[in-house]
Chain A
């Protein structure tokens, strides 16, 4: 255990030390590059007054809801597209076009339409999650070997049985690959939404810190975002370890 984490620990320590030395020796003012210690004490203060937890909870809610909505839509539509070439022909121009527009460009529009509350962020988040999950669902379902369909059909299996016993497990690996990308992107989605206009959330905190020259606060928010992204990524990895044991 210690052996496994030692290199990571060492690299983090070196990073912090280098950062600290840079702030001490270069004379860069604290509001431009705060020292690790000032970030740490800002972090403790934000924990004590509850503001960090409050804003993190808001952002996490947006992310989780956005993920659920995005993944749900992408999975259902991806499955339908994988099964029907006709549907794919009709819809793929729209899907490709939708990907040509960066979500950042339409985020302000969505905030105008849906308000500056949580809903607009959830939708932005869902949009950004949607595409990688959609593509991987299609690829995953298409990659199911036809021989396994033959096997199930020779046993007179029902459509539901074919889905649960063949299609779902056979495409899970590719699907989770898409979810892994989607999970990390979802953090970006929520933040983009909050940066456009928000009353709360880590993106709001980020902007607040920026306006008030509270740079340590900006750092606290950024590190919290990193932690969120790592956590989501880790959650998908856990799913992979649990369900894809047969692969490694």
Chain B
């Protein structure tokens, strides 16, 4: 594994204009991400986590600071939003192949890839269902398949499991970590859950209250694959206590 960073973030700040001057959402955030690293970002509500992802996705410009990608060019991005954010008029398979359509791949290859992705996220039999006929967990899996299908350089996940019930969520953790290991992606994932971050991440960044600064940068050296009972190990407990202490 190469250790040259794929993503270098330097002194990133974000200020939103409002009536009383400006609201500082992110303050001087710097960190590097290595290729294939799974980074979780934890932090209290309003600490600028979504803002950070939106900047990295190129949806809004930072107020100051910079971020550069290792390969020099604009990376392709797979993004999973907090809500599944599917197109209600498209079927499951049509939603999943959207990124390939945008990249103007021919229809036959796009369909073939979409079918592979459907198998990867375990949605066989629902190819032609509409989003309104899916459960929250299934919709979120469609969103994940859609984020992966064009083999993006960078995967940005914004609390992708927040709207799911506890059981579905834990099943999704297992699926995501399986997919991540199979596909070897670089991932930045925002979450509110310490357990979730310890279950999935190589590394956890904790942000402070608004304006968000990096308060703690913790390596998660738990063995993989991580099974459900990992939470009862002493190492897990130690890391969890450390993170809990860092989050106000």
A-contacting residues, B72-99, CB 8 Å: 74, 76-77, 79, 81, 83, 85, 87-90, 98-99
Is the pair A154, B77 in contact by a Cβ cutoff of 8 Å? yes
A194 → chain B, closest Cβ, in Å? 40
Question: What is the chain B residue whose CB lies nearest that of A162?
Answer: B102
Interfacial chain B residues near A69, Cβ < 8 Å: none
Tell me, yes or no, whether B130 is within 8 Å of chain A by CB.
yes
CA distance A151 to B83 in the complex (A): 11
Is the pair B83, A154 in contact by a Cβ cutoff of 8 Å? no
Instruction: Select A155's contact among B81, B99, B130, beta carbons within 8 Å.
Output: B99
Tell me, yes or no, whether A68 is within 8 Å of chain B by CB.
no
Interfacial chain B residues near A36, Cβ < 8 Å: none
Instruction: Select A148's contact among B54, B79, B87, B103, beta carbons within 8 Å.
Output: B87
Interfacial chain B residues near A145, Cβ < 8 Å: 85
Tell me, yes or no, whether A161 is within 8 Å of chain B by CB.
yes
Interfacial chain A residues near B103, Cβ < 8 Å: 155
Tell me, yes or no, whether A109 is within 8 Å of chain B by CB.
no
Instruction: Select A153's contact among B58, B74, B89, B132, beta carbons within 8 Å.
Output: B58
For B85, B89, B90, the residue with the greatest tally of chain A CB atoms inside 10 Å of its CB is: B89
B59 → chain A, closest Cβ, in Å? 5
Question: Chain A, 131-145, contact with B by CB distance < 8 Å: what is the 0/1 string?
Answer: 000000000000001
How many residues of A sit at the interface, in one of the four size bands? Answer: 10 to 19
A165 → chain B, closest Cβ, in Å? 7
Is the pair A154, B58 in contact by a Cβ cutoff of 8 Å? yes
Interfacial chain B residues near A147, Cβ < 8 Å: 81, 83, 85
Contact count A vs B, C-beta below 8 Å:
56
Chain B interface, >50% SS class: loop
Is the pair B59, A165 in contact by a Cβ cutoff of 8 Å? no
Tell me, yes or no, whether B116 is within 8 Å of chain A by CB.
no
Is the pair B98, A165 in contact by a Cβ cutoff of 8 Å? yes
Interfacial chain A residues near B88, Cβ < 8 Å: 246
Is the pair B87, A155 in contact by a Cβ cutoff of 8 Å? no
Tell me, yes or no, whether A228 is within 8 Å of chain B by CB.
no
CA distance A244 to B156 in the complex (A): 32
Is the pair A165, B101 in contact by a Cβ cutoff of 8 Å? yes
Is the pair A150, B59 in contact by a Cβ cutoff of 8 Å? yes
Is the pair B102, A152 in contact by a Cβ cutoff of 8 Å? yes
CA distance A148 to B84 in the complex (A): 10
Is the pair A151, B81 in contact by a Cβ cutoff of 8 Å? yes
Is the pair B87, A169 in contact by a Cβ cutoff of 8 Å? yes
Question: What is the chain A residue whose CB lies nearest that of B131?
Answer: A246
Is the pair A151, B101 in contact by a Cβ cutoff of 8 Å? no
Instruction: Select A150's contact among B76, B81, B90, B101, beta carbons within 8 Å.
Output: B81
Is the pair B79, A151 in contact by a Cβ cutoff of 8 Å? yes
CA distance A165 to B99 in the complex (A): 11
Given A154-B57, A161-B102, also A148-B85 (CB < 8 A): yes
CA distance A152 to B103 in the complex (A): 11
The 7 closest A-B pairs by CB, nearest first: A154-B79, A246-B89, A154-B57, A155-B102, A157-B102, A147-B85, A169-B89
15 of the cross-chain contacts (CB-CB < 8 Å) are: A147-B81, A147-B85, A153-B57, A153-B58, A153-B59, A155-B102, A155-B150, A156-B58, A156-B74, A161-B102, A165-B87, A165-B98, A169-B89, A246-B88, A246-B90
Given contacts A150-B79, A154-B156, A169-B87, list 9 more A-B pairs with CB under 8 A: A147-B81, A151-B81, A154-B58, A154-B77, A155-B77, A155-B103, A161-B101, A165-B87, A246-B130
Residue positions of A touching B, CB distance < 8 A: 145, 147-148, 150-157, 161, 165-166, 169-170, 244, 246-247
